[in-house]
Each structure stands twice: as C-alpha cells, then as structure tokens.
Amino acid sequence: MSWKPEVVADNSGKWIGNGLTFHTRVEADAYVRDLTVRWTSVREYRVVESDDPVSHIWRHGKATPI
C-alpha cells in the first residue's frame, strides 16, 4: 500500500495525480501541500490510498525517487 497526492487544477473538477506515491500519508500530504505553493492553479488537493508500489520519499522538503 502507498499514498498518492491528487489535485484539481482546473474548472473540470477532475482529480489528477502525477504518478508519485509515498510510503506514508504524512509524506504524500507534505508533498501535495508543497505542490500547491508552486502551482497557482491548484483549486483542491487530497491524498488517497493506492495499491501502487512506493515510488518516492519526502526528504528535506523534496520528493526523492527510491
């Protein structure tokens, strides 16, 4: 199990992700909160459970591939 961040970044209301998955909900939440600061078009964000393997860790304010 992993956690993936998703955002709504336009008027469609559609949730989208970028393929990054994290070991913990806390890591995924830190990543998506950081993303909302960098992307001015983010309207909403969330973190959802995933069956995908973990692809990244959140370390020192940066998503690092594993």
HEC secondary structure over 23-66: CCHHHHHHHHHHHHHHCCCCCEEEEEEECCCCCEEEECCEEEEC
| pLDDT in the model for residue 39 | 85
Q: How far apart are CA 66 and CA 56, in angstroms?
A: 5
H or E segment to which residue 8 belongs: strand 2-8
% of the chain beyond a pLDDT of 90: 88
% of the chain beyond a pLDDT of 70: 100
**Average confidence (pLDDT) over 5-11:** 94
Q: Average pLDDT of the chain? A: 95
pTM: 0.89
User: pLDDT-derived band of residue 30, with 50, 70 and 90 as boundaries?
Assistant: very high
